[in-house]
Amino acid sequence: MNYPLDPENFPKEDADSESVYTCLSSNPFQSYASSRTSVSDRSSDRSSSPTLSVISITSSVREQAIANEHGRGINTHSEIYRLPADAEEVERLNVQHAMLKEIMGKYPRPLAEVLVDDIPGEPKTILDLGCGSGSWIFEAAADFPHCELVAVDLVPLQNLGMPSNCRSERDDINLGLEHYYGSFNFVHTRLICTGIKDYARLIDQISQVLRPGGLVEMLEFGFQLYDRNKQLVTVSLGSYEPPWFPRFMALICIAVSVRGGCLDASGKLYSWVKEIPAFTDIVHTRHWVPWSPWLEGTDPETKRLNALGALMSEDIKQFLKSGRPLLLGSGLPESHIDELTLRCLREIEEGRTPYYILLEHVYARHR
């Protein structure tokens, strides 16, 4: 059987190797992705005003934004981002949010200064691009009640429990951010590369969205795993053998790239930000997180990392389910996905394989 993600169809790193893990920016499937995407340049496809206004996100609007695909709720607005947007995914993202706070803290250090309420009648503003479950922006709305916040995603947040200083917009940020230029003091993005066509362009536009003295914070993951020596783990896609979870992620990586997602963003965040003259005081941190509590030792740092590894392993178990409709929609046989998922779960539970996951974290001030 020859299906779209058959090893014969996989892009190769070079002519002499079948080992593929990293996703190339020059995607050989780009023409296919372009023909399938719903992204356009029509300004009517998105909201036009960055200022706070009365917007009602009813349950019917949210229902129209989600369609059932392979047993999960997937957004109906973009063919690039194909991970779920249903209640099960919201729960995964909420738990993930708690884990990320343990890894990198709640906010970047300059934020308190950036958002200080120092001009009467001129509230500071926050934009969350790709807000997901809303867990981050809801906390920010409570922590900075004097600020006005906008949450943007392909699927809108529901009004139920929406903070009074926050509003939700359904938008595809691939269409551009021109309607937000000069309107925000803080822009936050986190783990959105699977739905972004041109991440470098997005960063450039964020620099124009920010007001002078503003702050941007970005976090990304390259869908790669590293060994105990922090060297990249590769898999041969022409065979079927361990390691299993890196194999699963390699398939996810290709499926996302076929649709036009920018999976090389994590490794390029820092350089892209440095290239923009408007940014200064750039801080880049690499967070190495064990995929499970596999480290040996009883010192405080090892205990901390193993605690993070336990949280990460639970997130991975849920992500195995989240990635299922993406792989099915790419043509991978259900039996193949089921077997690979079981092998991944067994690999996680055994906890003998020493993998790290690398999170790239960048924040910078606007001049």
What is the assigned CATH class of domain 27-366? alpha beta
DSSP-derived secondary structure for 20-70? --SPPSS-TTHHHHHHH------GGGS----S-------HHHHHHTEEEET
Q: Is 338's pLDDT higher than 90?
A: yes
**What is the arithmetic mean of pLDDT over 174-187?**
98
Q: Report pLDDT for 221.
A: 96
Tell whether omega for the bond before 243 is within 30 degrees of 0, i.e. cis: yes
**What pLDDT does residue 63 have?**
63
For residues 67-76, average pLDDT: 80
Which tens digits make up the pLDDT trace of 118-174? 999 999 999 999 999 999 999 999 999 999 999 999 988 866 678 999 999 999 999
Whether residue 341 is predicted with pLDDT greater than 60 in this model: the reply is yes
For 306-332, the DSSP string reads: HHHHHHHHHHHHHHHHHTHHHHHHTT-
Handedness of CA 152, 158, 161, 164 (dihedral sign): positive
Q: Is the pLDDT of residue 8 over 80?
A: no
Q: What angle do CA 231, 232, 234 make, to 5 degrees?
A: 135
Closest by CA to 58, choosing from 138, 153, 159, is: 159
What's the pLDDT at 49? 45
CB 126 within 8 A of CB 150: yes
Written as six digits, the tokens of 319 are 């992500």
**Is 212's pLDDT higher than 90?**
yes
- Token match 């997130």: residue? 315
Backbone angles phi, psi at 289, to 5 degrees: -120, 125
Q: Which tokens is 45 given?
A: 């496809």
Q: Please name which of 138, 186, 143 lies closest in space to residue 166, comparing C-alpha atoms.
A: 138
Q: What backbone torsions phi and psi does residue 167 show, to the nearest 5 degrees? A: -135, 155
Q: Which residue has the higher pLDDT, 156 or 115?
A: 115
